[in-house]
Structures are given as C-alpha cells and as structure tokens.
Amino acid sequence: MNQQDLLRLLIGEWSGTGQGEFPTVEPFEYLETLTFAGDHRPFVHYEEQTKRRSPGQTNYVPSHWESGFLRLLPSGEVELINTQGSGRLERLLGSLEGTETGLILRLQSTAFLNDPRMLATSRTITVEGNSMRYIQTMHTTAIAGPAQHVEARLKRG
C-alpha cells in the first residue's frame, strides 16, 4: 500500500477515552473526538476536541481543541501542522509505515510558535482496523527531559 492509501486509513471520526499526566499537572481522564477528512490530494485535515475530568470530579469540561493538516512531503516524510485553542502553533515531521492491519505514524516536533515553554513533543499513532492508540510526550522548560503527557484509545464509529 502506498503512503497516500495509508493516510486514507485515518479518514473518519474516532472517539474514545484517554489518560493524561505530566510532572507539572494533576493526572486526568478525558473523552476525545478526532476527525480526519480528505479527498484525492496528499493530505488530510484533522480536528481534535477533548473534554477533561480531574480526579474526584464527575463532570467532563471542554479542555483541548486543535486543528491541522497531515501532509505527505515529496521527501517521503509526513508533516503535521496544527494550531491549538491555547494559541500554540506546532510543526512535526516523521514517518508513516504500513502494518498488516493498519499503520504506524511517528512524529517529532520541529517548531513551535506562541508557547516559549515548549521544547519538544512527539506523537505515535497506531491504527489497527477500526482501533487507534496514540501516545504523546512533551518536553518543556519546567522539566529536565521528555515525559509522557497523554495516551488514548479510540474507535472509528
């Protein structure tokens, strides 16, 4: 399967739950909806919205919102460019590889705007059929090195 066909495996609406943590925040649970849309061009648009629940809380409240594009570059790399509701702009580069039942997308940050605290992020997205798992790490000026920030399991539905 070529990269463009692999990218199309993401298209649809995915939803599920996740857990967040970071040395500077309280652990939390969240609900997520992640939508990918595209046509015949070598990119897809995505939008991610989450609702967060802190320990001891029963209600989920809007937490994170980002939107951007995943593009296939002539070099063979994959680029993710996004803007987040907090004002952060981010660019990541990485690879897209096929598996027997889906894909693995690995991305590393290359640039940030509007958030001087950010030093690096990484995202790994694994799709197996109609199941998606992703992990994101962050490295900020507040900690000595990268740490896991969020992990979620989503279903296409």
| pLDDT tens digits, 49-93 | 999 987 788 899 999 999 999 999 999 999 999 999 999 999 999
For residues 105 and 60, give the distance between their C-alpha atoms in angstroms, rounded to a whole number.
Answer: 29
User: Structural domains in the chain?
Assistant: 3-156 (2.40.128.20)
Question: Residue 73 carries which DSSP code?
Answer: -
Q: CA torsion angle for 60, 19, 17, 84 (degrees, to 10)? A: 70
Residue at 131: amino acid letter: S
**Start-end of H helices in 91-153:** none
Q: What tens-digit pLDDT sequence spans the chain (157 residues)?
A: 899 999 999 999 999 999 999 999 989 999 999 999 999 999 999 999 999 987 788 899 999 999 999 999 999 999 999 999 999 999 999 999 999 999 999 999 999 999 999 999 999 999 999 999 999 999 999 999 999 999 999 999 9
Residue at 55: amino acid letter: P
What per-residue confidence (pLDDT) applies to 56? 84
What per-residue confidence (pLDDT) applies to 53? 87
What per-residue confidence (pLDDT) applies to 57? 83
For residues 84 and 16, give the distance between their C-alpha atoms in angstroms, rounded to a whole number.
Answer: 20
Q: What angle do CA 36, 38, 42 make, to 5 degrees?
A: 115
What per-residue confidence (pLDDT) applies to 82? 97
